[in-house]
Structure 1
């Protein structure tokens, strides 16, 4: 029960951080899209002037992407939320596995019985 409460608190905190930094995350996505587009255009530009212009646009987008710290915090929060979700679905409750539920214990017992017969 304590593990589920801890997961809930961690998940709630990560969700709040993600929601507060959602606009920064959208800004990061836009600047990364501009960077990708500028890189593709720079490679396909026929003139040197065009390559320089697209490289400058790409550098500006790279600086804008790298300086977007709140978006990086939002990415970390999204990862924490993912881990909490995986851990939450992995917790089946506080039930203790008895000997009869464990397939390996049953196998060992049956194997010992077979050994006694032969």
Structure 2
């Protein structure tokens, strides 16, 4: 698939990248639109650049489900979806209180998980 891959500060390249596969409990979304926000720009300028490079930024994603993994229910190939960008640990004090937006793990699409500036996102 084509993706906008970040290699470092002010270094983003359109290149071929492995297409993600849906694991158990996961879906793969074909990206229709991915918004660029201030967080993406700041990251590219070096403010909060992910440690694991190269990577794909982009956390504001809408598209349609292209693949479902084992055990996925309530979603089907072809469904149009908006992607929730925050991945949570489920273990920290905030997650245990249901305040997932404050998760201490601090990872999500574009930061620890490859994001939506690509043809597909998992």
Give the number of the structure whose alpha-carbon radius of gyration is greater: 1
Q: Verify same fold: TM over 0.5.
A: no
TM-score (norm 1): 0.19
Q: Which structure: greater helix fraction?
A: 1
Q: Name the TM-score, length of structure 2 as normaliser.
A: 0.18
The structure whose RCO (Cα within 8 Å, separation 6+) is larger is: 1
